[in-house]
């Protein structure tokens, strides 16, 4: 395989380049569990759900092969395309007859539905359509669906050398270039086409796709989208991309757009775009992101809220937004060379995105709140506390399949001088005659061993996450403790890529109590527990005492508890934890909703609280869950 066997092949302005997907072999740990779960459970489940939901029949009925009526949302074709992408990437791990058969059958079906002019969209092709093609770029999602079709075709080409799907997508893309190139003011109400067109340019070398992506990006803010359902801000059409310094509007839209804008920088080197991306990144991470990496706190329009508007209980934090943030973070890393973006990448991966799928891989969260009350009822895209097998708006589950089938592409990046490990996993990484054999239980454990085979004069760089206390990071080279210097988040090791070298890194994974900025009112006076990149939560089913009335005491010690009750994949995120000091408050009915402040707090005893990785919650009977627990000392005192 040449460079570019993975989901992103950056352009000439990348400071760093991804390692080829084909150069990575996942051999164990959580990555292997994710990949296998995706192949054996999530993808077959998605194939089935695409039938049950009528999504496949939407294609067949256009060919007279199904009597079913059109079902679902205007963008439902994208569920098929995302699943095709997931299937294509997953075949890079080895042949699988079930996945191969579905992939080929579905590519053939999509190809037969394509019109002679290249157009495909089952919602707009149907005789009983409610709107004409291209009549509603604001909400019609035709270009969004094309974006996912292109991503699937590119994945298939890179992963298994398939041309058919890429050609289908390209024919449609050519139609779009003819129709919306030049002076057209058109943009899509849901970004996605931008990054896909740039990847198509990378795959084919044809600059007309880059040119159109650039036009789509530069046209934002021209008012073309109109008011739509929630006003132009929702669609990122209220301002030009170059003028926008805050994250606003629909979270998935905003984050996909920014992945595309960063891609445009990677191709053009337009530093104004990169500066804008840095400003928006800063805005998001300082004011508008949950501790889990979730974004988009507003349910009404699935949108970013005001600065510090981060309610736990009503967090929307869509799984797709977590995935989109990972895409953008990785591109920012490649554009700047900085590892800080990878901290946020991991924050999403191990928390909001991992929470999006059940331990067995067949149930999903759409929204990912940081608190659930015992009596919370299910509503449209929300479950009552258990994941659902699919959704009427099923954007998240197939997004999960493409994520966990391409996850191996983000383990390392390279520059002219070095190869850098960007996140730790049990895997072999091969690069220009050198193989790194990495073994670790990260993020459950902090020890990482790397054995080198072959020689290279390049340096090896190891990422030291921002959460790690540098004085506690240990490194041994061939068994000998070595002083380390952490510069801008990396340890640079010269002469490390020598045959037989053994490097042993030890990252400190002591659980920590963290608090939020005082202006996040929703968590003021509360604390959360993190262990490395993994955020913890208290789930009622682990606890005897009522967790909704629990208070941490400052100075509490957090100890390892066990791995019991965690499912096979969740256990690889870390052990359950136990806090020694817990103050139990009676949830007595006779306490009024509001009462006069006094020192007479209804504290009745001490106990302990069991915590588990946030991503593992909701795999049992629905009950209360919370990430943030109030600190006793900030409430009226009187602990006996
Ligand atoms: O509009 C397509 C997808 O549906 C969005 O990305 C999700 O937020 C959901 O609204
Ligand atoms: Zn989604």
Which CATH number do you get for residue 434? 2.60.40
Question: Residue 384 is part of a domain; what is its CATH number?
Answer: 1.50.10.20
Residues 501, 522, single domain; the answer is no
Q: Write b or e for each residue in 417-447: b if 16 or more Cβ atoms lie within 10 A of its Cβ, otherwise e.
A: ebbbbbbbbbbbbbbeebbbbbbbbbbbbbe
Two tokens, residue 190: 């849901």
**Residue 640 placed within a domain:** no
Which pLDDT value is given to residue 545?
81
Atom of ligand 1 nearest to the CA of 318: 8
Tell me if 550 is assigned to some domain.
yes
Question: 302: Cβ below 6 Å to ligand 1?
Answer: yes
Both 148 and 228 in one domain: the answer is: yes
Any ligand 1 atom below 6 A from CB of 20: no
286 shares a domain with 179? yes
- Residue 520 domain boundaries: 512-632
Q: Which ligand is nearest to the CA of 78?
A: 1
Spatial distance between the Cα atoms of 532 and 444, rounded to a whole number of angstroms: 9
Least confident of 288-292, 302-306, 414-418, 589-593: 589-593
Catalogue the E-assigned strands of 33-182.
none
Do the domain assignments include residue 8? no
For the segment 105-158, what is each residue's pLDDT rounded down to a tens digit? 999 999 999 999 999 999 999 999 999 999 999 999 999 999 999 999 999 999
pLDDT (mean) for 178-185 = 97
Distances (CA, A) of 497 to 222, 406, 418, 432, 543: 52, 26, 10, 11, 48
Q: Evaluate: CB of 321 within 6 angstroms of ligand 1.
A: no
Give the confidence band of 207 by pLDDT, cuts at 50, 70, 90.
very high
Contact between 538 and 611 under an 8 Å Cβ cutoff? The reply is yes
How many CA within 13 A on the CB side of residue 278? 13
Cα of 321 vs centre of ligand 2, distance in Å, is: 7
- State if pTM tops 0.95: yes
What's the rounded mean pLDDT across residues 184-208?
A: 98
79 ligand 1 Cβ < 6 A: no
The total number of structural domains in the chain stands at 3
Question: In 23-55, which positions are buried (b, 16+ CB within 10 angstroms) versus exposed (e)?
Answer: bbebeebbbbbbbbbbbbbbbbbbbebbeebbb
Rg (CA), the chain: 25
Is residue 404 domain-shared with residue 420, that is, in the same domain? Answer: no
- The pLDDT, as a whole number, for residue 586 is 62
- Residue 487 CB burial class (10 angstroms; 0-12, 13-18, ≥19): exposed
Kindly state if the Cβ of 346 falls inside 6 Å of ligand 1: no
What pLDDT is stored for residue 381 in this prediction? 65
Give yes or no for a contact between 397 and 391, defined as CB atoms under 8 angstroms apart: yes
Tens digit of each residue's pLDDT (9 = 90 or more) over 20-61: 999 999 999 999 999 999 999 999 999 999 999 999 999 999
Structural domain contains residue 6: no
The helix or strand, by DSSP H or E, that contains position 552, with its residue range, turns out to be strand 550-552
Query: 448 and 437 in contact (C-beta within 8 Å)?
Result: no
pLDDT, position 637: 41
For residues 436 and 526, state if they share a domain: no
Ligand 1, atom 9, residue with closest C-alpha: 395
Tell the residue nearest (CA) to atom 1 of ligand 1.
190
Render pLDDT for 500-553 as a digit per residue (tens, 0 to 9).
999 999 999 999 999 999 999 999 999 999 999 999 999 999 998 888 888 887
2 — pLDDT class (breaks 50, 70, 90): very low
Residues 405, 419 within the same domain: no
- From the CA of 252, how far away is ligand 1's center (Å)? 7
Classify residue 9: in a domain, yes or no: no
Assigned domain for 5 exists: no
| Element of type H or E holding 108 | helix 97-113
**Beta carbon of 408 within 6 Å of any ligand 1 atom:** no
Choose one of 482, 506, 530: the last residue of a domain: 506
Ligand 1 within 6 A of 320 CB? yes
Task: Please check whether residues 494 and 616 belong to one and the same domain.
Answer: no
Ligand 1 and 82: CB distance under 6 A: no
Distance CA 353, CA 347 (A): 9
Taking the C-alpha atoms of residue 224 and residue 201, their distance in angstroms, rounded to an integer, is 25
Ligand 1 close to Cβ of residue 202 (< 6 A):
no
pLDDT (0 to 100) of residue 638: 43
pLDDT score at 374: 86
For residues 395 and 438, membership in a common domain is answered with no
d(CA 496, CA 639): 55
Q: How much is the mean pLDDT over the chain?
A: 94
**Residue 10 falls within a domain, yes or no?**
no
CB-count burial class (<10 Å; 0-12, 13-18, 19+) for 554: exposed
Q: What is d(CA 284, CA 603) in angstroms, rounded to the nearest whole number?
A: 38
- 404's CB contacts (< 8 A; 6+ apart) are 34, 35, 37, 38, 42, 86, 357
Confidence of residue 636 (pLDDT cuts 50, 70, 90): very low
Is 50 exceeded by the pLDDT of residue 378?
yes
* Ligand 1 pocket residue status of 192, Cβ below 6 Å: no
Same domain? 443 vs 525: no
Report whether 151 contacts 77 (CB < 8 A). no
Checking if the pLDDT of 386 tops 90, the result is no
Report the pLDDT value the prediction gives residue 592, as an integer from 0 to 100.
Answer: 82
Q: Which numbered ligand comes closest to the C-alpha of 356?
A: 2
Residues 356 and 404 in one domain: yes
Name the domain boundary from 449, 482, 506: 506
**513: part of which helix (H) or strand (E)?**
strand 512-514
Question: Which of 43-47, 345-349, 459-463, 557-561 shows the lowest per-residue confidence on average (mean pLDDT)?
Answer: 557-561
Probe target for ligand 1 pocket from 72, 189, 230, 302, with the most ligand atoms within 8 Å of CB = 302
189 with 61, same domain?
Answer: yes
The answer to whether residue 571 sits within a structural domain is: yes
Q: Which ligand is nearest to the CA of 303?
A: 1
- How many CB atoms lie under 10 A from the CB of residue 377? 9
| Cβ atoms < 10 Å from Cβ of 531 | 24
For residue 624, the CA-to-ligand 1 centroid distance in Å is 27
Supply the pLDDT for residue 565.
81
Domain identity same for 194 and 267: yes
Q: Which residue has the tokens 């920014």?
A: 258
Cα–Cα–Cα angle for 369, 374, 380, rounded to 5 degrees: 50
Instruction: List pLDDT tens digits, range 74-94.
Output: 999 999 999 999 999 999 999
Reduced to 3 states (helix: H, G, I; strand: E, B; else coil), residue 331 is helix
Peptide bond into 443 cis (omega under 30): yes
The pairs formed by 45-48 with CB atoms below 8 angstroms and a separation of 24 or more are 45/361, 45/362, 45/389, 45/397, 46/83, 46/86, 46/397, 46/398, 46/401, 47/83, 47/98, 47/102
Contact predicate 371/625, CB 8 Å? yes
Alpha-carbon gap, residue 256 to 395, rounded angstroms: 14
Coil/strand/helix, residue 314: coil
- Expressed in angstroms and rounded, the spacing between residue 502 Cα and the centre of ligand 1 is 46
C-alpha span between 216 and 59 (Å, rounded)? 28
Q: Which of 506, 541, 565 is the last residue of a domain?
A: 506
In what side-by-side order are the strands of the sheet with 474-477? 24-26, 427-431, 434-440, 447-453, 502-506, 474-477, 480-481
pLDDT of residue 585: 67
For the CA of 253, the nearest atom of ligand 1 = 6
Q: Tell me the ligand closest to 318's alpha carbon.
A: 2
């Amino acid at each position: 395989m040449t460079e570019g066997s993975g989901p992103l092949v950056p352009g000439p302005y990348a400071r760093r380049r991804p390692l080829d997907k084909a150069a990575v072999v996942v051999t164990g740990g959580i990555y292997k569990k994710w990949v296998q779960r995706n192949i054996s459970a999530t993808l077959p489940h998605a194939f089935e759900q695409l039938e049950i939901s009528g999504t496949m029949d939407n294609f067949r009925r256009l060919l007279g092969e199904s009597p079913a009526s059109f079902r679902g949302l205007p963008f439902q074709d994208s569920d098929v395309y995302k699943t095709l992408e997931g299937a294509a990437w997953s075949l890079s791990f080895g042949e699988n007859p079930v996945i191969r058969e579905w992939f080929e059958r579905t590519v053939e079906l999509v190809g037969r539905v394509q019109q002679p002019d290249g157009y495909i969209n089952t919602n707009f092709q149907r005789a009983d359509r409610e709107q004409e093609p291209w009549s509603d770029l604001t909400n019609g999602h035709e270009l969004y669906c094309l974006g996912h079709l292109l991503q699937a075709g590119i994945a298939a080409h890179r992963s298994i050398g398939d041309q058919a799907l890429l050609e289908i997508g390209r024919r449609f893309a050519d139609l779009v270039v003819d129709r919306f190139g030049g002076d057209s003011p058109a943009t899509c109400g849901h970004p996605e086409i931008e990054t896909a067109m740039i990847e198509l340019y990378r795959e084919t070398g044809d600059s007309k796709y880059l040119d159109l992506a650039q036009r789509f990006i530069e046209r934002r803010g021209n008012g073309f989208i109109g008011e739509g359902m929630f006003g132009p801000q929702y669609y990122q059409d209220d301002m030009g991309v170059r003028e926008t310094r805050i994250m606003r509007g629909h979270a998935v839209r905003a984050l996909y757009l920014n992945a595309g804008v960063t891609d445009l920088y990677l191709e053009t080197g337009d530093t104004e775009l990169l500066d804008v991306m840095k400003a928006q990144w800063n805005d998001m991470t300082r004011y508008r992101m949950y501790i889990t990496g979730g974004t988009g706190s507003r349910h009404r329009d699935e949108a970013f809220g005001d600065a510090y508007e981060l309610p736990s209980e009503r967090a929307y934090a869509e799984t797709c937004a977590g995935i989109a943030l990972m895409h953008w973070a990785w591109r920012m890393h490649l554009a700047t060379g900085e590892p800080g973006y990878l901290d946020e990448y991991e924050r999403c991966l191990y928390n909001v995105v991992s929470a999006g799928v059940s331990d067995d891989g067949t149930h999903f969260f759409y929204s990912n709140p940081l608190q659930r009350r015992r009596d919370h009822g299910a509503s449209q895209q929300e479950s009552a506390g258990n994941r659902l097998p699919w959704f009427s708006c099923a954007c998240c589950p197939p997004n999960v399949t493409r994520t966990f089938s391409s996850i191996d592409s983000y383990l390392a990046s390279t520059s002219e001088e070095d190869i850098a490990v960007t996140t730790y996993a049990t895997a072999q990484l091969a690069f220009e005659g050198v193989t790194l054999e990495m073994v670790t239980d990260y993020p459950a454990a902090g020890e990482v061993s790397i054995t080198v085979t072959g020689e290279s004069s390049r340096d090896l760089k190891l990422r030291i996450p921002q959460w790690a206390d540098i004085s506690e990071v240990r490194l041994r080279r061939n068994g000998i403790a070595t002083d380390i210097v952490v510069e801008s988040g990396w340890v640079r090791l010269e002469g490390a890529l020598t045959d037989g070298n053994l490097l042993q890194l030890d990252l400190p994974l002591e659980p920590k109590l963290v608090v939020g900025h005082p202006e996040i009112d929703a968590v003021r006076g509360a604390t959360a527990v993190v262990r490395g990149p993994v955020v913890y939560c208290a789930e009622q089913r682990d606890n005897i005492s009522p967790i909704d009335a629990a208070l941490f005491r400052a100075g509490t010690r957090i100890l390892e508890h066990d791995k019991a009750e965690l499912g096979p994949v969740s256990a690889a995120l870390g052990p359950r934890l136990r806090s020694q000091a817990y103050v139990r408050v009676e949830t007595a009915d006779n306490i009024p909703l509001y009462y006069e402040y006094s020192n007479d707090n209804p504290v009745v005893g001490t106990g302990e609280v069991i915590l588990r990785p946030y991503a593992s919650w909701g795999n049992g009977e629905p009950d209360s869950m919370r990430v943030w627990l109030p600190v006793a000392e900030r409430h009226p005192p009187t602990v006996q």
